[in-house]
Every structure is written in structure tokens, then in C-alpha cells.
Amino acid sequence: MTHPDLQTRHVQVNHDGLAIDAYVAQPAADGVYPPVVVVQEIFGVNAHIRDITERIAREGYIAIAPALYQRFAPGFEAGYTLDDIKLGRQYKDQTHVDELLGDVQAAIDFLIQQPASQPGGVGCIGFCFGGHVAFLAATLPDVTATASFYGAGLPTWCPGGGDPSLSRTADITGTLYAFFGMEDMSIPAEHVDQLEAALTAHHVPHQIFRYPDADHGFFCDRRASYQAEAAADAWQKVQDLFQRSLKDKPLALNSEA
């Protein structure tokens, strides 16, 4: 499919000798644009993730979606059947936090070397497993704005084992927005509360958005759990976050952004 308003391409980024497939989208018009990393769900860099990458580019960013299963499932992308979910979770359980952070950093390094990349901060947005990874990526020094969608297990798990990812909250130096559907059985309400408490305790600029009638995956219009109203509201909040922290002056460091 052609996009006259965009430039899209498949590229590879390198991390420790591994060539990682990635999808890049940017406005077709000449100019410089803030860089944003899009972090996949358990289903790989599939049509939904590529669509989000393009949607971000249309808002005036250069965006990249790296394939985080490259080591053990190159080329993997799936739909949303029960078999797809089972396989995606199997691959998720093979990931390790250090490799994930290195892969995201490799994607950042690729972006900031592009002529169309605007100097300054980097944004990150992730969904499902990618929401968890986006929280981890918020600890990278280049990342100044993070949108984490329904990332499960933050207080209880970290890819590859060790202390749960929430224990890294103090290392976040930018602003984090997190989005949850309160009908999501995979994320107890108390986990959302623990995330909010940790962000507040460590003075991380943040907002937590709870959608009472939304389930896991509410942002994905290809899933039965899609909730249009919540998705539209969340998308507007993501645009506001990236506008304020990547295009405009940085947000002030306070407990609530």
C-alpha cells in the first residue's frame, strides 16, 4: 500500500551483531521530526503496529517499530486467535530485559542518526507486552516521553527474571502516561495503584488513565476488545503528551504532568 503523505520502509537496526527488522514511517514532506519508538504487542510488528507507526508519523514524527522477537522468531507477526496468543506469550517468555532495552536503544540510535530526526528527546509508545517494555524503556536516558498501554505484570515480573520492573521506577527521568482498561482481568486494579504510587514516590511526572468500561487491548481496532471511545480519548492524550514534551518545551518536573 502506498501512502502519499508518508515515507515508509523496512530497515534493519544493529544490536550486538544482531540485525533487527524494523518498520519506519515519517512524513513525506521535507523537514525534521521528533523521533518515536513504537513497541509491539506479543503479536510482533503486525498490521496493527505498522498502522500505529504510520498514525504517529502523520502527526509529525519519525517513528520506528523494532521486531523484539528477532532472536528466536525472525519475521514473526500474528493475528489474535487463541493459537496466536499462545505462541506470542511463548515468545514473550523468551525475552530478557537487557536484550529488550538494548534493542530499543538500537532503534533510538537508528532514528537519531536520520537526517529527518529532530535533535532532543525521544518518545516511546507500547501496547500489551510492549506497554511493559515501554515502561522499561522509559529508564533509557534518551527517552523523555512514554505512553504505556495496558502493560501487565509491572509489580510482579520482569522479562528474564529478577526484581519486578516496577523496581526500576526511580530510573525514569522523563514523563510517563499509562493507560488501563479496568475490565482487564490480566491487570488487577491494585497493580495500577502500585504503579501510580511508585511514580508519585519517585517524583516521576506522570498521569494514569483508567477506563471503566474497557478491556485489555482496547486500543486495537482489530480485536474484539476494541473500545472506540476509550481509544479515541487515549490517542488524544498521547498526542498531547508528545506535543508538549517532544515538540514544545519540556514538561516541568512535578508529580503530575
Give the active site residues.
128, 184, 216
Grid cell of 91 as nine digits: 515468545
- Spatial CB neighbours of 243, under 8 Å, sequence gap ≥ 6: none
Spatial separation of the C-alpha atoms in residues 153 and 158, rounded to whole Å: 8
Q: What are the residues facing 145 on neighbouring strands?
A: 123, 175
Distance CA 87, CA 42 (A): 8
C-alpha cell at 215: 478491556
- How far apart, in Å, are the Cα atoms of 246 and each of 87, 143, 164? 36, 10, 29
For residue 239, give the nearest of 129, 123, 135 by alpha carbon: 123
Q: CA 129 to CA 177: how far, in whole Å?
A: 16
